[in-house]
């Protein structure tokens, strides 16, 4: 983490699969290694909320929620540390499940 404290995703193409489901193709960068990935995205809803700034009511504002998931092989990104367990097997598996929760506010 000291040398690579951030993970980046840059989306390029979004395909609508249904009223609340998308596939987003893009690139994920981990430890400076960039690889293509596909996110499965689901819109969780929209709702209005109050919005106050410096004691002034500037709302309401429209919010939307999304959840995106994907799976990667961490070795593809140079994350290869591992250690054997005393009774067999290894400490860390190769597959990593990624979940991204997003709440967006329409300006």
Q: Residues 45, 51, 57, 61: is their CA dihedral positive or negative?
A: negative
The pTM (predicted TM-score) of the whole model is 0.79
**Which CA distances in Å does 46 have to 7, 39, 83, 86, 102?**
27, 20, 45, 50, 12
Decide if pLDDT at 92 tops 90. no
Is 96 part of any domain?
yes
Q: How many domains does the chain have?
A: 1
**How far is Cα of residue 85 from the mean position of the Cα atoms in its chain?**
30
pLDDT tens profile 15-38: 999 999 999 999 999 988 999 999
State residue 89 phi and psi, 5-degree precision. 85, -175
What confidence tier does 107 reach under pLDDT thresholds 50, 70, 90? Answer: confident
Is 79 part of any domain?
yes
Is 33 part of any domain?
yes
What CATH number did the domain enclosing 24 receive?
2.40.128.110
């Amino acid at each position: 983490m000291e040398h690579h404290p951030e993970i980046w995703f840059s989306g390029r193409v979004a395909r609508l699969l249904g009223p609340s489901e998308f596939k987003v193709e893009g690139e994920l960068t981990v430890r400076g290694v960039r690889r293509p990935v596909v996110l499965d995205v689901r819109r969780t809803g929209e709702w209005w909320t109050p919005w106050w700034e410096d004691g002034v009511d500037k709302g309401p504002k429209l919010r939307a929620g999304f959840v995106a998931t994907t799976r990667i092989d961490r070795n593809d990104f140079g994350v290869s540390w591992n250690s054997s367990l005393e009774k067999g097997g290894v400490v860390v598996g190769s597959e990593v499940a990624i979940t991204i929760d997003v709440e967006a506010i329409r300006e």
